[in-house]
Structure 1
Amino acid sequence: MDFLQEVQRLWTDQLDPRVADFPLIQSSYYVPLIIFAYLYFVLRCGPRFMKNRQPYSLKTFIKLYNIIQIVANTWLFYDYIDAGVFKSSNLVCSQVLDFSYDYIPMKLYKATFYYFLLKILDYVETAIFVLRKKNNQVSGLHLYHHISTLLLAWIATRYFAFGPTLFNFALNSFIHVIMYTYYFLAAYGPNIQKAIAPMKQWITIAQMVQFVILIIYASQNFLPGCKVVKHWLAIIYIGNLMINFYLFYNFYQKAYNKPKRKI
């Protein structure tokens, strides 16, 4: 009961005052509704709509979408660097919790809010899978990763939009620049896909390395004098990273380490 009361208190009383004018962030209902609508479309409404239809091509739309993702993630990564996320004062045992309206804290906050919006835009990728009848790509890994990442971005923007907790978003934006560059090139057809095929495996490895780095980084919260957030929040965050790592590792094993058939 004490734990639930603590969660309720944090949820209502610890809201970052800078989010007062952002309804998507401030509201306790909009993001859950977005996630529900997303799941309803990709698991039920979309497949039902496409049941007796030919898959859409969407080649031009896919290229445009990937360009937007590349530009947006590059800009966010630069913004985080410019705001000092990778400075040692922010990375190692930092307890600088600055919620002011000064230039750097606001720069970090705006970048975090735009990152949150980008995680909603990521849902378009799943809709493309459905409309192209690539149902095998709408996997448990894909759904869990997209949902957990949006929830993490939402909670961080509500409560933790300061240097020490935003290393995750900066690193993720960097990985997404590489990933969407691959998708953009792959949209040009089988010949290009064949040429860049090795890149796909290394992107999966990079994603797993990302999770390992973030697990190690988040674990410093348990060191003496390094506590930034409450330990139970850090445990939930690290648990989510471990689940993502396991799902990506399982995918990697199935996709790239298939046992060779005996002749």
Structure 2
Amino acid sequence: MDLLKEVQRLWIEKIDPRVVDFPLIQSSYYVPLIIFAYLYFILRCGPRFMKNRQPYSLKTFIKLYNIIQIVANAWLVYDHIDAGLFTNNLQNISCSVVFDYSYDYTSLRLCRTVWYYFLLKILDYVETGIFVLRKKNNQVSGLHIYHHVSTLFYAWIGVRYLIVTPALIGSMLNSFVHMLMYTYYFLASYGPNVQKAIAPMKQWITKIQMVQFIILILFFSHNFLPNCKIMEHWVVNLYIFNLIINFYLFYDFYKKTYDKPKSKI
């Protein structure tokens, strides 16, 4: 009961005042409704709509979408660094400050940066919609769905309550990985010959994604060291638990896709 009361208090009373007026942040219903609509479309509405239809090509749209994702994620990586994540927040990494709601220029700019990152996680849902409309049902996997739903949910929670260095490191790393991933997708959209040439890149992107999760697990674990607590331990445990699930799903995908035993001649 104490945990439930703490969650209720955090949910209602502890929204970061610096972001309370940002669109989609203050409401407790908009983002859950977006997630519900996403799941309903990709699991029921979309497949039912496509059942007796030929798959759409969407080649031009896919190229444009990938370009937007590459540019947006590259800009987010730059914006995290240019806003002073490392130069102005290095003391957070060494555990010498406590969590607060600073209104200095760097803090306010980083709040805006993380909000842009949150909006980009909503845009990521377009990718699954493309899979459905192209009848690439094998790509709408449990890994894909869980990763997209959990990433948006935790990005939303992060903007509302936890714009601190570990969360900022997470959003920057994720943006970097997505920049690489959508670069691969953009190149792959040019057909089988290009796909064959860049095939090794796909395996390395999966490895980089797993390394990302390990880095973030270690970084969030700093919260349990003496004099390093900037978030409640149960909040950090939830974040780490989600990272472990994502790591396991990606590792399982890697084993099944790239680590198959070679057939004997």
**SS of 2:260 mapped into structure 1:** coil
**Cα offset, 1:94, TM superposition:** 4.9
**What percent identity do the matched residue pairs reach?**
73
**Cα offset, 1:145, TM superposition:** 0.3
**SS of 1:31 mapped into structure 2:** helix
In structure 2, runs of 5+ residues without a counterpart are none
Q: 1:157-196 residue pairs with structure 2 within 5 A?
A: 157-196=159-198
Residue in 2 that maps onto 1:202:
204
Contact kept, 8 Å, 2:166 with 2:219, in 1: the verdict is no
Q: 1:1-263 residue pairs with structure 2 within 5 A?
A: 1-87=1-87, 88-263=90-265
Contact kept, 8 Å, 1:74 with 1:174, in 2: the verdict is yes
Partners of 2:188 and 2:61 in 1: CA distance: 13
Partners of 1:86 and 1:96 in 2: CA distance: 17
Contact kept, 8 Å, 2:166 with 2:216, in 1: the verdict is no
Give TM-score scaled by structure 1 length.
0.97
Aligned residues: 263
Partners of 1:226 and 1:146 in 2: CA distance: 30
**Cα offset, 1:98, TM superposition:** 4.3
**SS of 1:133 mapped into structure 2:** coil
In structure 1, runs of 5+ residues without a counterpart are none
**Cα offset, 1:20, TM superposition:** 2.7
**Cα offset, 1:18, TM superposition:** 2.1
**Cα offset, 1:17, TM superposition:** 1.1
**Cα offset, 1:258, TM superposition:** 1.2
Q: Deviations over 1:102-129 (max 9, x none)?
A: 2111110000000000000000000000
Contact kept, 8 Å, 1:74 with 1:177, in 2: the verdict is yes
Partners of 1:54 and 1:95 in 2: CA distance: 58
Contact kept, 8 Å, 2:166 with 2:220, in 1: the verdict is no
RMSD, matched Cα: 1.2
Partners of 2:173 and 2:85 in 1: CA distance: 10
